[in-house]
Amino acid sequence: MSDSNTEESVNALSSKAEYENAINLSQHVSQAKTISEMVLDAFQSTKESDQIRELRAEIRQAHDRFDDDRAYELMGQLKQLKDAEAADSAALEDLSSKFPISRILSSYKDDPSFQELVYGLALKVLNQTHQAISSPGGGKSKASRAKKEMEVFAISKDGISVTLPIRPRSKANVDREAFEFLGFAFVGEGDEAELESEVFFDKDGNEQPATRKNIVTAIQQQTAFEGYSALQQQ
């Protein structure tokens, strides 16, 4: 069984490397990149449960009201929930060491929540692909696409400015200074550091994945990160 898991891990790493090499070459139309990012985000963007995110929001609201007692109570609940989810994660890791991921996924094929995720993603891919094929802007030449460079934005507030490159699929810790400048917190150090929360909330209270592109768009459209500006560098 371990040989099967090892083979799948090698294939996954190989596919990940090939994907990153392909998308960083900028030889694909933007619609194709959007679709591929959407697929990855569906499985990778959110690591926290809904309960943890809701508790974090309640804690922030308690702090905003200067209700220290309520915030302290909620932080206790948050710790208990995180401990429980850590135990769940350990159990899942043990499960993944015993069975290949393909078998684990197939066992969920009739689960309503899993079907909602899979068919919801399939619908998004269907709509985005149709839009990409129908879009008159999708016919750029390969030469013009190859010349496109990585977008870099200057994020500014109160006279201080940092740069935030739009790096597809790169971990947030690569641009830790920019993310911390935007108010994000990290857990861990060095290459192992990860965002404490991989989402942010817009002005309407809607949760958004904390991707670089989403952050820049929110700043430019003034739907989140009040007081910040984002200007693309030439």
The alpha carbon of 49 is separated from its chain's Cα centroid by a whole number of angstroms, namely: 14
The mean pLDDT value of the chain amounts to: 76
Q: Which pLDDT belongs to residue 93?
A: 72
Tens of pLDDT, residues 106-161: 777 777 877 777 787 788 778 777 777 776 554 444 444 444 567 899 999 998 99
Residue by residue, DSSP assigns 38-68 as HHHHHHHS--S-HHHHHHHHHHHHHHHTT-H
pLDDT value for 37: 75
Q: CA dihedral defined by 25, 150, 146, 12, rounded to 10 degrees?
A: 20
- pLDDT for 52 equals 77
Residue 19: other Cβ atoms inside 10 A? 14
Residue 4: is its pLDDT beyond 50? no
Single-letter amino acid, residue 25: L
- Name the more confident of 234 and 59: 59
Query: Residues 172-189: what's their mean pLDDT?
Result: 90
**pLDDT tens, residue by residue, 183-220:** 999 988 877 888 888 899 988 888 888 889 999 999 99
Gyration radius from the chain CA atoms: 20
